[in-house]
């Protein structure tokens, strides 16, 4: 079976739309009582890349700021335990800064220059969690779970057109 990249992306988008519809219906059909909580999550995040295969003696990898935004649903099973699921959009990435020395180790057109590449990756994540609730009048909680993520898009910006960059074909579509 042969399919092109656009067909695969459209299929992933349709799967995500169906999942969003199902989650919306389930949350809407639930009665909101003292045991059910729905909320909005948002914030900033800083991400980077750590790999022995990616960095070289010519460059450094720095943190890149991003953001996340989503919905959260928690169901308190009893006074001590809760179950929940979130639907979150994440923007992650890293910045690679490479200084090319003015010697034989650098490509001829880049000797003595500095190049900056900003990698940006977009994901939909669906954390599924179980937690322990503690406290009576003022309560807190601790959660543990898994976070499956679906890769949506990648963008790169570079200060040098001569540098090769990591594209979508080198990122796993599902983590």
Q: Does 173 score more than 80 pLDDT?
A: no
101-135 tens-digit pLDDT: 676 666 666 666 777 788 888 899 999 999 998 88
Give the residue-averaged pLDDT of 14-22. 72
**Distance (Å, whole) CA 29 – CA 23:** 10
The pLDDT assigned to 115 comes to 74
The pLDDT assigned to 67 comes to 87
Q: Which residue(s) pair with 42 in the sheet?
A: 69
Owner of token pair 């009665």: 31
Q: Does 168 score more than 80 pLDDT?
A: no
Q: What is the pTM (predicted TM-score) of this model?
A: 0.60
Sign, CA dihedral 6-12-13-15, equals positive
**Tokens coding 133:** 């609730």
Pairing of β 81-99 and β 149-158? unpaired
Q: Does 1 score more than 50 pLDDT?
A: no
What residues contact 117, with CB distance under 8 A and at least 6 apart? 95, 96, 97, 98, 156, 157, 158, 159, 163, 165
Q: Lowest-confidence range among 17-21, 30-34, 35-39?
A: 30-34
């Amino acid at each position: 079976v042969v399919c092109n990249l656009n067909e695969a992306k459209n299929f992933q988008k349709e799967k995500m739309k169906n999942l969003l519809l199902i989650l919306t219906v389930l949350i809407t059909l639930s009665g909101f009582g003292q045991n059910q909580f729905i909320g909005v999550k948002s914030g900033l995040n800083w991400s980077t890349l750590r790999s022995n295969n990616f960095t070289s003696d010519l460059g450094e990898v720095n943190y890149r700021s991003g953001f996340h935004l989503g919905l959260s649903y928690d169901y308190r099973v009893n006074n001590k335990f809760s179950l929940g699921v979130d639907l979150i959009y994440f923007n992650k990435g890293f910045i690679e800064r490479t200084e090319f020395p003015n010697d034989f180790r650098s490509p001829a057109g880049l000797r003595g220059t500095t190049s900056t590449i900003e990698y940006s990756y977009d994901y939909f994540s669906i954390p599924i969690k179980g937690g322990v609730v503690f406290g009576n009048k003022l309560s807190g909680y601790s959660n543990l779970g898994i976070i499956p993520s679906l890769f949506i898009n990648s963008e790169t910006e570079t200060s040098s057109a001569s540098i090769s960059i990591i594209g979508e074909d080198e990122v796993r579509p599902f983590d």
